[in-house]
Amino acid sequence: MKNPLRRLHKGSPRVRQLSRRLENAVVTVGARSALKCAERLSLEQALRFGEWLGRLLYRVLREPRRRALEHLGIAFGDSLTPTAREHLARASFINVARCFCELAKIDVIRARRAEYFALEGEEHAQALLAAGTGAIIITGHIGNWELLAAYFAWRGLPVATIARRIYAERLNRMLVDFRRRQGIETILRESPHSARQMLKALEENALLAMVIDQDTHAPSVSVPLFGRMARTPAAAASIAIRRNLPVAAVFIQRRGEGGHRITVSPPFVIERSDDRRADIAALTRQFNFALEAQIRNNPAEWVWWHERWRRERLPYLDLDRDFQYTSVDAVTRRRG
């Protein structure tokens, strides 16, 4: 028998709006409470608190837990036992909770950054900015992606991140303010000024960072991920090809001895033809191969509960006139 409250929720926009407001309020209050708890602890204690919190969230958040287990089955099939899937799903909840607690201790981490981080491929990061044109960085919700951007900003590299506005407005402001205090510019994808902000960041030779491992309501292309076609945002490849910019994958993951290892890969080889759409799709396919390789190498730190394969594949590349990132070209022409 179907739940009548669920039918009411689906059938009434007003009920859905009230439900979202209540959910956002609960999320915001919970996030602030967790931050205050972690702030009072040492870094090591905060990380242990994050592990406890992640285990608790895994137990109480039934729907995200179900999705995480389902997606692990899609990705790894019978190569993982049910026990192994549960272990990885739980670990991903723990990782996100620990990441959140690390944000509460950001000043301590910044002071200890020389010991807390190891960087591999620094020469690739420097090469990205050598031409002075700016560069694209692609990554995913793997490891502590917020610390990843902060680390490069601390090293004096200009960093701008493309982010989706979080429905919980207070939490959104909290994250934007956190990034600003670390020297990171946040460009909200929904903003009417986003194209101009991106152009300005590139003119200032910034690293334009994009997290591209989720199915969002943005112009996308369907390319393989774990053997299944997945809608993937096309902006990173489109901007790189339209503006002839270098682009590289950068990832962060925890080290056994504590802290994180950051890896900068060599820039992608961008092949160009007379078919720009095909070129964008081909480059986005390379991005997903890099993301999948990192997830396979570090499955405990990916956000498995996102509905990555929730919609049908796109029969064509979604780059119509509503694609806001193409307006970067228009702004460039007007300035020229």
**144: closest CA among 37, 258, 234, 52?**
258
What are 324's two structure tokens? Answer: 């806001």
Helix spans in 245-307 (H): 276-297
Are the CB atoms for 151 and 117 separated by under 8 Å?
yes
Domain ranges of the chain: 4-106, 115-335
Helix (H, G, I), strand (E, B) or coil at 333: helix
pTM for the complete prediction? 0.86
The confidence score (pLDDT) of residue 241 equals: 93
Question: What does the pLDDT read at residue 89?
Answer: 98
SS3 259: coil
Continuous segment of H or E residues that includes residue 264? strand 260-264
Strand pairing report for 260-264 and 247-254: antiparallel
Neighbours of 334 (CB within 10 A): 7
Instruction: Give the pLDDT score at 327.
Output: 46
What does 194-254 look like in DSSP terms, one character per residue?
HHHHHHHHHHTT-EEEEE--S--SS-EEEEEETTEEEEEE-HHHHHHHHHT--EEEEEEEE
Q: What is the pLDDT of residue 170?
A: 72
Structure tokens at 81: 């036992």
The pLDDT value given to residue 103: 92
Q: What integer pLDDT is reported at residue 64 of this predicted model?
A: 93
Report the distance separating Cα 273 and Cα 331, nearest Å: 24
Quote the pLDDT of residue 321. Answer: 42
Bridge partners, residue 261, by sequence? 118, 253
Mean pLDDT by 10 residues, the chain (336 residues): 52 65 60 79 95 94 94 95 97 95 95 96 89 93 95 94 77 84 90 86 93 90 94 93 94 96 95 91 96 97 94 77 47 46
Question: 62 CB contacts (<8 Å, ≥6 apart)?
Answer: none
3-state helix, strand, coil in the chain (%, to 5): 55, 15, 30
Please state, in angstroms and rounded to a whole number, the distance separating the CA atoms of residues 214 and 96.
16
Q: What is the pLDDT of residue 110?
A: 96
